[in-house]
Structure 1
Amino acid sequence: MHKLAILDDYQHVAHSFADWSSLQHRGVAVTVFNQHLATEAEVVDALRDTDIIIAMRERTPFPGRILEKLPKLKLLVTTGAANASIDVEAAARLGITVSGTGGSPTAAPELTWALLLAFARNLTQEEAALRGGRWQTGVGFELSGKTLGIVGLGKIGTRMAGYGRAFGMEVLAWSQNLTEEAAAAAGARKVGKDELFRESDVVSLHLRLSARSEGTVGERELRLLGPDGVLVNTARGPLVDQRALVTALHEGWIRGAALDVFDQEPLPAGHPLLSAPRTLLAPHLGYVTDASYRAFFGGALEDVAAWLDGSPIRTLAPTP
C-alpha cells in the first residue's frame, strides 16, 4: 500500500480536477490536506509515513533538512515545471524522484494585468465606497501613453509586453542576461536596471526566484521608481525587500504596489503589508484558474501513474 498526500488544497478542489480514485486499485491511499502545514515539525509529523507527495507550487517548502526526515518518501510531485522551494539535489541524493507538471501560459499574466487595471482605476476602493453609500470617491489614471517596465522577459514577461503594447504603452525590459534582440522580438526595448526603474510608470516583476534574484528590488529601485510609479509583483515575494517596500508605501516613495505574492504565505495576521497604504493585495491567485488546476492535478496524477509503472515522467534534474 502506498500513502499519497496532496498538500495545501485550500479550496477543497483536488478531487474535482483529477480522478484520484483511479489509484485505489493500484494500492494507493490518498489523503488531502486542506490546511497548511505551517512549520517544519508539522510537515514531518504529518508526512513521515508518506511515500508520495503532491505539492502545490511553493506553498510547502521541501529543503534538504525536511527531506532527510521523510525516510519513506519516494516520489515528490510539484505542480508546474519548476519549484525553487524543493531541494532537488538533496532529493536525488536521497533517492527521491521529483516530477513536475504542465500549467497554463495565460493565468499569471492575465491576473497581473487585472491587478494593474484594478489599481489604476481604484476599483476595490470604489466598490467598497459604492456599497457603503458613497459615489465616485477618487480619481484613477490611464495606462495609455505610460511606460511599462518588465523585469524578466520570459514567457510571462513576453505576454505582459504584448498587453502593454495593446494598451498603448511603451515597453522597457531588463534582466541580467537579456539581449537587445530578445527584447526587440518581444516588442520591448532593452535598458539598464536603473534606467528601467527611473523611466517606468509601472514596473512588473517576472523573474524566477533564486539566490541571484532575491532582493532584486530594494530601496534604491523603489526610490528610482518615484512617487508616481507603481510596482506590480505576481512572481515571488522575496524578489522585493519587504521592509523597504513597506517603508516606501508609508512614506510615499512610490504611488503604490499591486501584489499577489509575499515573503510569508499564507499572509499571517498582523503582517505589515496588510495595513500598508497604497496597496492592492491578492492571495497568490496567479495560477488559481480552472485551466491551471486541470493541468496541475491532472499532470500530477499522470506523474504518479508513470512512477508506479516504473517509468517516471517530467522529472526535475538537479542543477549541474
Structure 2
Amino acid sequence: MAVQIAVIDDWQDVARDVVDWSVLDSIGDVTFVHDYPADNVTLAERLSQYQVICVMRERTRFDQELLQRLPNLKLLVTGGMRNAALDMQAAAGLGIKVCGTDSYKHAAPELTWALIMAATRNLLNEANSLRAGGWQQGLGGDLHGKTLGVLGLGSIGQKVAQFGQVFGMRVIAWSENLTAERAQQAGVTWVSKQELFEQADVLSVHLVLSERSRGLVDAQALDWMKPTALLVNTARGPIVDEAALIKALQKQKIAGAALDVFDQEPLPELHPFRTLDNVLATPHVGYVSRQNYAQFFAQMIEDIQGWAAGSPLRLLN
C-alpha cells in the first residue's frame, strides 16, 4: 500500500519546486499542505491520514497530545538537526521515528548582516521615500570603527564576528560558556555580560534557545545598552524579553532593533513590532534561502527513502 506523505509548514508554497519529489513515487504519495499551525484537534483532523510528515523547523508544534492523536504516524522528518517544537521522547514512546537534515550554514549569518546594514543606513526609509517620489531622508550610521557585540559565539556567531572584522569593527563576545581563550581563537575579545551590553554599538544575538537563555536579554541588559545602540535578533524570539524590548524602543532607550524572530510566529496582526518606526522586522527568513531549502528537502527525501528501506538516516530520537 502506498505510504501517505505530507509536507507541511511550506508557507511560501515553494517546496514542490525546490527539489524533485517524484523520486518518492515508488514509496508513496506526497501531499503539500499549506495551512498555518492550528490547535491540536484541527491538526489531528488535517494530518491523521499520513504515515510520514515533513515539517519545517519550529513552525508546527508536535507535543505529546498531538502525537497521540496521530495513530498512523510512523516518521517525522524535520529541516535541521534541532527542532524544539517536537517532543522527541513522546515520539519515541509512541514508536514514531524522528529524522533531521543538515543546514546550509551561511543563510542565517548573511541575513543577520543584511539587517545590520539596512538598519544602520536606514535603507528601508530611504528606499520607500524614493519610491514615493521623495529624496534623501536622514543621515545613515556607520559600522567602521564601531563595536560589534556578539551574544553567543557558536558557528553563526563566529561568522557574524568575521563579517564585523571585515567591516573594520571591534568585535567583543560573551556567553555563559565562552572562555577568553575560545574568543581569542576567533580573533574576538571576551568581555563580561554587562560589558558586552554597555560597549556594543550593535549587539547581535546568536544563542540556542534553552531554559538558560530564555529571557536572557532582559530589562536590565537593555538598560545597560547605549541610547545609540542597535539590538539584532536572528536567533530565537524568547531569548529577548519582548515586553522589555518594546518598552525600551517606545521610550527610545536604545536607537532601534532589527528582528527576524518573535515570541509568537507568525507575528500577531496588531503587534507593536509592525508599527514602531525604530524597528526593522522580517518574518523569520534567516534560514529561508534557496540553498538551505534545497538541502533541507533533498535530505528529507533521503530520510524517507532510508526509513522505507529499514535503515533510517540522521535519527534524532
Task: Tell me whether the two structures share a fold, i.e. TM-score over 0.5.
Answer: yes
Partner secondary structure for residue 25 of structure 1: coil
Partner secondary structure for residue 35 of structure 1: coil
Partner amino acid for 2:20? D
- Determine if contact 1:18/1:301 at 8 Å carries over to the other structure: no
- Determine if contact 1:259/1:281 at 8 Å carries over to the other structure: yes
Q: Distance in 1 between matches of 2:263 and 2:163?
A: 27
Structure 1 residues 84-122: Cα deviation after superposition (integer angstroms, max 9, x where no partner): 111112111111111110121111000000000000000
1:220 CA displacement: 0.7
TM-score by length of structure 1 reads: 0.96
Deviates more, 1:162-171 or 1:185-194: 185-194
Q: Distance in 1 between matches of 2:19 and 2:131?
A: 39
Partner amino acid for 1:279? V
User: How many matched pairs?
Assistant: 316
Partner amino acid for 2:13? H
Q: What is the aligned partner in structure 2 of residue 36 from structure 1?
A: 36
Any residues of structure 2 matched to 1:174-253 within 5 Å, and which? 174-253=174-253
1:249 CA displacement: 0.8
2:18 matches 1:17: yes
Q: What is the aligned partner in structure 1 of residue 131 from structure 2?
A: 131
Q: Distance in 2 between matches of 1:193 and 1:66?
A: 39
1:65 CA displacement: 2.2
Partner amino acid for 2:260? D
Partner amino acid for 1:166? V
Q: What is the aligned partner in structure 1 of residue 6 from structure 2?
A: 5
Q: What is the aligned partner in structure 2 of residue 65 from structure 1?
A: 65
Q: Distance in 1 between matches of 2:148 and 2:64?
A: 39
Structure 1 residues 155-181: Cα deviation after superposition (integer angstroms, max 9, x where no partner): 000001100110111111111111111
Q: Distance in 1 between matches of 2:32 and 2:149?
A: 40
Partner secondary structure for residue 5 of structure 1: strand
1:29 CA displacement: 1.5
Partner amino acid for 1:103? S
Any residues of structure 2 matched to 1:116-195 within 5 Å, and which? 116-195=116-195
- Determine if contact 1:78/1:101 at 8 Å carries over to the other structure: yes
Deviates more, 1:150-159 or 1:267-276: 267-276
- Determine if contact 1:172/1:190 at 8 Å carries over to the other structure: yes
Any residues of structure 2 matched to 1:250-265 within 5 Å, and which? 250-265=250-265
Any residues of structure 2 matched to 1:40-51 within 5 Å, and which? 40-51=40-51
- Determine if contact 1:49/1:72 at 8 Å carries over to the other structure: yes
Q: What is the aligned partner in structure 1 of residue 101 from structure 2?
A: 101
Q: Distance in 2 between matches of 1:240 and 1:262?
A: 9
Partner amino acid for 2:26? H
Structure 1 residues 168-201: Cα deviation after superposition (integer angstroms, max 9, x where no partner): 1111111111111111111111111111001111
The percentage of counterpart residues that share the same residue type is 49
Q: What is the aligned partner in structure 2 of residue 82 from structure 1?
A: 82
Q: CA RMSD of the aligned region, Å? A: 1.1
1:265 CA displacement: 1.0
TM-score by length of structure 2 reads: 0.97
Deviates more, 1:81-90 or 1:302-311: 81-90
Q: Which ranges of structure 1 fall in alignment gaps of 5 or more residues?
A: none
Partner secondary structure for residue 3 of structure 1: strand
- Determine if contact 2:183/2:190 at 8 Å carries over to the other structure: yes
Structure 1 residues 1-36: Cα deviation after superposition (integer angstroms, max 9, x where no partner): 21111111122211112222221222x121111221
- Determine if contact 1:120/1:142 at 8 Å carries over to the other structure: yes
